[in-house]
Chain A
Amino acid sequence: MMTLLLLFVPLVSALVVYLAGQKLASKVALGLAVVELAISGIALSMYLKEGPEPFYVFHEWIASPKISFHLALDGLSLLLVILTNLLIPIIILSTFHRLIPNAKSYFALILMMQFALVGVFMAMDGLLYYIFWELALIPIYFIALRWGGPNRVPVTLKFFIYTLAGSLLMLFGFIMLYWYNPQQSFDIRELYNLAISGSNQSWLFWMFFLAFAIKIPIVPFHTWQADTYREAPTQGTMLLSGIMLKMGIYSLLRWLLPIVPLGVAQWGPLAITLCVVGIMYASIIAIKQDNIKNLLAYSSLAHVGLISAGVFAINLHGFQGSVVQMLAHGINVVGLFFCADIIFNRTNTLSIDGLGGIRNLAPKFSTMFMVILLGSVALPLTNGFIGEFLLLYGVYEYNIWLSAFAGLTIILGAVYMLRMYKKVMLGNTGTRVQSFPDLYWNEFLALGIIVVLVIVMGLYPKPVLEIAEPALQLILDKTIVQ
C-alpha cells in the first residue's frame, strides 16, 4: 500500500498539476511534492519499526514472457527514494521568482520524472526496472529540449541517443538473463542465484556496465555530460546531476554486481581503474573551466568517479561510502547548481571571468554557497567528508595505490572549487556584477535546507549507515565469488 502510494502519488500529482493551469502550477506542484515527501517520511518510520516486509508488492503483470509488477523497499532503495522525494520539492522551490513559460507542462514533467525515478529505485523485476529506467529519460529530455539553452537541440539529442544506446544494450543483457534463468523470469531474487558461465557473464557485464557507465557517467563515456548540464535549464540539471546519475550507481549495486559476480571479478579491476583515472582526469579539467556549470559538471564527474570506484572496490566500506556519498553528492550538487542559477539569474552570465566581488554584495548567499562548497570538497563535519572517507577507505582496502591516486581528489577538488569561489565571489566587483540582490525567501529556504542537511549528515551519519547496511551486506555476499 505504502509502496504504491510512494510510486503513484507523483504520477497523479503530475496530472493534477497539468490540469491546475499555468498560474497555480508551481504552488500545486510544490504542495504535492511535499505530500510525497511526507509519505516517504511515514514510510521511513514504518521501515524503522517493521523493516522491509510491509513494502513488498508482487502482482503478475504479463504471463508470457513472465514480467511481474514486483516492488520492494529495502534500505538502499528507501534512502534513494527519500533523496529523490527530498530533492524534488527543493528543485520546485528553486523555480519561484523565476519566469517559467508554459509552467504546467514543466512541473508536470518534473513530477513525471519523480514517478519514474521512484519506480527505478523500487522495481525488483528486471523489465519493470528497465521500463522505469527508460521512462525517466523522456521527461528530462523534453525539459531540456523545451526550456533549455540556445544550443540545446543537438546537445540534448546526443544525450538522449547516447544514453538510450547504452540502455538498449542493457535490454539485450536482460533478455539474455531471461533465457539463462531456468524459471524464465526477470525476478531479481532468481537473477541473484543464476549460475552462468564466466564467459557469458563477462558479456553480460559489458552490456550492463556500458549502460550504467554512460548514465553515471564514467570516463570516457562522459562526453554528453558537460554540454547537457550547461544547456539544460537549472532544474533539469539538478534532476540530472542530483538524482538521475544516482540511478546509474544504484543500478551498479543492485543490478550489476550481484547478478554477474564472475564478470565483475574479471572486469572489475578495469572498471575501478577507469573510475580512478576519471577522477583525476575530471578534476584536472575542472581547474581551468570558465563556465560555472561546466566546472560543476566536471567536479560532479570526479565525484561520481570516486563513488563508482567505491562500488567496484567490492567491500562494505566502499558500498557504505557510495551510499552516503550518493546522498551527499545529490544534496550538494543540487545546492551548487542552484547557486549557479542564482548567480545567472542576477548577472545573466555563468562565465567566471565577468564575475567577482559578490561576497560583499550578498553575504547570506556567499556564506551558504561557501558551506555547500565545503561540503563538496569534503571538509570534516560535512556530509561530503563521511562519504569520501569511507569511499577512499574502501578503495584503500581494494588497492593502496588506487586510493592514493583517488585521494588526489581532495587536493584537486579544493583547488578548482576554491578557485571558482575566489573568482566568482571574492576580489573586486566583476564587470557583469552591477547589482546583486541577496537571497529571496524561497532561495534562502531552499539553500537553508541544503546547508542544514550538509551539516547534519556530516555530524550524524549513523542512521544512514544503519539503514543501508543489511541491503548492502546482502549484495556483498552475492557479489563475492567463492
Chain B
Amino acid sequence: MTENVIIDPNLYFLGLLIPLFPLLGFLVNGLLGKFLPKASAGWIGSGAVLASFICVLYIFNSLGVNDVIRIDLFEWIVFSGIDISFGLSIDPLTVIMMLVVTGVGFLIHLYSIGYMHDDEGFGRFFVYLNLFIFFMLLLVMGSNFLMMFIGWEGVGLCSYLLIGFWFKNDAYNDAAQKAFVMNRIGDLGFLLAMFFILFQFGTLDFAAVERLAPSIAEHQGLITTIALLLFIGAIGKSAQLPLFTWLPDAMAGPTPVSALIHAATMVTAGIYMVVRSNVLFALSPIALNVILAVGVATSVFAAIIGLKQNDIKKVLAYSTVSQLGLMFVALGLGAFTSGIFHLVTHAFFKALLFLGAGSVIHALHGEQDIRKMGGLKKLIPITYITFLLASLAISGFPLLSGFFSKDEILAHAFQQNILIWIIISLSSLLTAFYMFRLVYLTFANSFRGTDEAKHHIHESPWTMTVPLIILCVLSVFGGLLGLPAVFHAQHWLAGYLSAVTDGSAQYLHHAEHLSHSMEIILMSIAGVGAILMILFARHQYVTKKQLPPADESLTGFEKLVANKFYVDELYERFISQPVFKMSEGFGGFVDKKILDRVVNGVGTVVDMSGKTLRLLQTGNTGFYIFAMVIGMIVIFIIRLLI
C-alpha cells in the first residue's frame, strides 16, 4: 500500500472543520438553547451537519485514491512507552463513511424537524443528534484505535441518551441502559485488544499498526487473540450474536434515531472497525472464520425472528441485524470492499425504511402494530412509494442497489464455500418475504384501525418527505457504486478503497474468479428467488388477506420465533438474575455477616474478656493478698523450673 500523506493547509483545516461543525451545533443548542426560539434548534442542528457534509464533499473530490490527510491536534497520553496523539486522519474509507454519516445524517436531521416538531424535548433531541454526529465522525476519522474508541463509546453514550429520550417511560430507560451495558461488554474486548496492540507495537496508530502487524504474523495465537478481541467489540456494537438483543429494544427511541443510529451509522461501526484493521484480521484465518460463522448465524437467526414480528420497527430492527450479519459474512470471506459496499447501500435503504416507518407511525399517531394498519397506500402515497422501493432494494430486486451489493457477497460465498452460499441465499429469501409481509400488511388492503384514527391520517410535511425521496433515489441507484464486471464497468468502490484493502490482499487466499456466465446464473437465481418470495408474500397477505394471529394463539415453533427464541429470557435468567443474587448475597451476607462480624467480633471478644477479668477484682482484701502470694509462687516456680 502506498499512502502518500498530503499536507495541504486547506484540506487540513476542512478536515478539522468536519467534526467541529456538529460539535458547535451541539454547544450552541446545548448551552444557548433556552435563549433561542424553539424552532431554530432544528435548523441549527441540520445546518451544522449540512456544513460538514459540504466539507466532506470538497475533500471527497480533492482526495486521491492513495492520499491521506493527517490531522494531529495534540499529544494526548504521552510518556515512556506510550505515545497516543489526539489526531485525525482521512483516507478513502474514512471519506466513504463520512459521506454516509453526514449525508444520511443531514437528511435524518431534516426529517426530524418535521417528525419531532411538537415534542417538548425538541431542542434536546437535536443536541443529542449533533453530539452523535460528532462522535461518529471522531470514530471514523480517528487516526488511532484510542481515538476510534472515543467515538466508539461516545456514540454508545448518544445511543443511550436517545433510546432513553422519553425518559419518563421506565421501559425505554431500561432499553437504553441495556444498550449501553451490552456495548460496554464489547468495549471491554476492544480495550483489551488495544492493550495487546499497544504492548506489541508500542503504538495504536492505524498506519503504524498496519505496517508492523506482519512482523508478528507467525504468532498466530497472539494475532488471533487481538483480532478476536477486536471482533468482540464489533459484536457488541453491531448487534451480532450473542449480543444482538439490545438492538430491537433500542427501537424505544424516536424513529429518526432508529434510522440514523440503529440502522445507518452506529451499528455499522463494527464493520468499519474490522475493515479499518483488515490487515490484522487477514493475518488470522481463524478470526476470519469466526467472523464468518457469527455473520452467517446472525443473518439467518435474525431473519427467522423477523418473520414473526408484528411491530413495524421491530421487523426492521431484526432485518438490520440480519443485514449486518450479511456484511460480516462478507468480511469473513475477506471481501472487505463488498462489506463496505453493502454497508453503504444498506445505509440508504434501511434509513429510508425507518423513515418511512416513522412517517407511517407519525401518520397513525404512534401506532406501531402492523395488525392495526393496512390500506395506507392511498392515504400516504409518497411514503408508500418510497417504502416499496426500499423494500424491493433490500429484498434484492434486480438492478436496485441491494441487488448488487448482496449479489457481490453471494458471489464471494459461492467461490469459497457453496454451503455458506446456500445459507445466506436462504436468509436473503427470508428477508424478501418478511419485508413484503410488512409492506402488504401495512399498505395493502383496507385500514384495520378505527375510523376516528383513519380520519386523522395525512401525508407528512415536506421536511419529512423530501428526505424520503432523496434516500429513495439513492437506494435505487446506489448500486452504481459497485457495478460488477459483468456490466463491463469496473467496480468503482473497490478501486476507490484499494489503498485501504491492498494491505491485506496478499494474506488472503483468492479462489479463481468466477466466469461471467456463472455470475449471471447466480444473479438470476438470486433475483428470481427474491421475486418469487415477494409473490408468495403477496399471495399470503393480499390474496388470502391472511392476518398474523394474536401472540397467545401461537404454538410450537411459531411461538418460539415470535418470542425471539427467548434469548432475552435466557440472559435474564442466567446472567442478570445471578448477578443480582450475588449482589444481595455479598452485600447482605458476606459483607455484613462475615467480614463485619469478624471485625466487630474482635471488639466483642475484647470487651467480654474485660468484663470477665473484671470479676477478679472482688473487693476482698484477703483474696487480693492471696492472689499476690499466688503470683509470687508462680514467679518462683517459673524461676525454679527454667
Contacts and interface: CB of A to CB of B under 8 A. Distances in A.
A469 B167 contact: no
A392 interface: yes
Given A284-B583, A428-B170, A410 B81 contact: no
Given A462-B76, A469-B79, A287 B192 contact: no
Nearest to A409: B188
A471 to B, nearest CB: 13
Contacts of A460: 74, 76
B36 interface: no
Contacts of B584: 288
Contacts of B180: 414, 418
Interface in A373-418: 374, 379-381, 386, 389-390, 392-393, 396-397, 400, 403-404, 407-408, 410-411, 414-415, 418
Contact of B595 (A223, A298, A357, A386): A223
B626 interface: no
Contact of B192 (A162, A360, A407): A407
B579 A287 contact: yes
Given A359-B167, A410-B187, A418-B180, A465 B78 contact: yes
A285 interface: yes
B586 A285 contact: yes
A396 B192 contact: yes
B167 A408 contact: no
B198 A422 contact: no
A51 B66 CA distance: 47
A288 B173 contact: no
Contacts of A158: 599-600, 603
Contacts of A351: none
Contact of B167 (A404, A419, A426): A426
B580 A287 contact: yes
A47 interface: no
Contact of B153 (A284, A380, A422): A380
B147 to A, nearest CB: 9
Nearest to B597: A223
Question: Among the interface residues A316, A426, A469, which one has the most CB atoms of the partner chain B within 10 A?
Answer: A426
B195 interface: yes
Contact of A284 (B149, B181, B192, B579): B579
B150 A380 contact: yes
B17 interface: no
B640 interface: no
A393 B184 contact: no
A460 B76 CA distance: 6
B82 interface: yes
A397 B153 contact: no
B149 A418 contact: no
Given A284-B586, A380-B150, A411 B81 contact: no
A389 B154 CA distance: 16
A289 interface: yes
B157 interface: yes
B273 interface: no
Contacts of B152: 380
B173 A427 contact: yes
A370 B371 CA distance: 40
Contacts of A287: 579-580, 583
Contacts of A465: 77-79
Interface residues of A, number: 54
A182 interface: no
A317 interface: yes
Interface in A275-315: 281, 284-289, 298
Contacts of A469: 79-80
B58 to A, nearest CB: 27
Contacts of A288: 580, 583-584, 587
Contacts of A298: 587
Interface string A175-187: 0000000000000
Contacts of A380: 146, 149-150, 152-154
B29 to A, nearest CB: 13
A419 B192 CA distance: 25
A386 B195 CA distance: 14
Interface in B523-540: none
A392 B195 contact: yes
B168 interface: yes
B199 interface: yes
B243 to A, nearest CB: 12
Interface residues of B, number: 50
Interface in B579-601: 579-580, 582-584, 586-587, 590-591, 595-596, 599-600
Contact of B191 (A286, A317, A407): A407
A289 B587 contact: yes
A410 B595 contact: no
B181 A411 contact: yes
A449 B379 CA distance: 55
Contact of A379 (B74, B153, B185): B153
Contacts of A426: 164, 167-168, 170, 173
Interface in B120-168: 146, 149-150, 152-154, 157, 160, 164, 167-168
Interface string B491-528: 00000000000000000000000000000000000000
Contacts of B81: 316-317
B595 A393 contact: no
B72 interface: no
B555 to A, nearest CB: 36
Contacts of A415: 177, 181
Contacts of B607: none
Contact of A393 (B153, B169, B195): B195
Contacts of B150: 380-381
B188 A397 contact: no
Contacts of B587: 285, 288-289, 298
A223 B79 contact: no
A317 B586 contact: no
B170 A411 contact: no
A427 B79 contact: no
A41 interface: no
Nearest to B149: A380
Contacts of B153: 379-380
B586 A411 contact: no
A364 to B, nearest CB: 10
B75 interface: yes
Nearest to A468: B79
Contact of A418 (B75, B146, B177, B185): B177
Contact of B79 (A320, A403, A407): A320
Contacts of A403: 192, 195
Interface string B75-111: 1111111100000000000000000000000000000
Nearest to B34: A363
A473 B181 CA distance: 37
B351 to A, nearest CB: 27
A120 B599 CA distance: 27
A276 B310 CA distance: 46
B77 A162 contact: no
A279 B121 CA distance: 38
A162 B599 contact: yes
B75 A462 contact: yes
B47 to A, nearest CB: 24
A21 interface: no
26 contacts: A158-B603, A161-B603, A223-B595, A285-B586, A285-B587, A287-B579, A317-B82, A320-B79, A357-B168, A359-B167, A374-B157, A379-B153, A380-B150, A393-B195, A396-B195, A397-B199, A403-B192, A403-B195, A407-B188, A407-B192, A411-B184, A426-B164, A427-B173, A428-B170, A462-B75, A465-B78
Given A379-B157, A407-B191, A415-B181, 5 more contacts: A287-B579, A287-B580, A381-B150, A422-B170, A469-B80
Interface of B: 74-82, 146, 149-150, 152-154, 157, 160, 164, 167-170, 173-174, 177, 180-181, 184-185, 187-188, 191-192, 195, 198-199, 579-580, 582-584, 586-587, 590-591, 595-596, 599-600, 603
Which 3 A-B residue pairs are closest in the complex by CB-CB distance? A288-B583, A380-B150, A285-B587
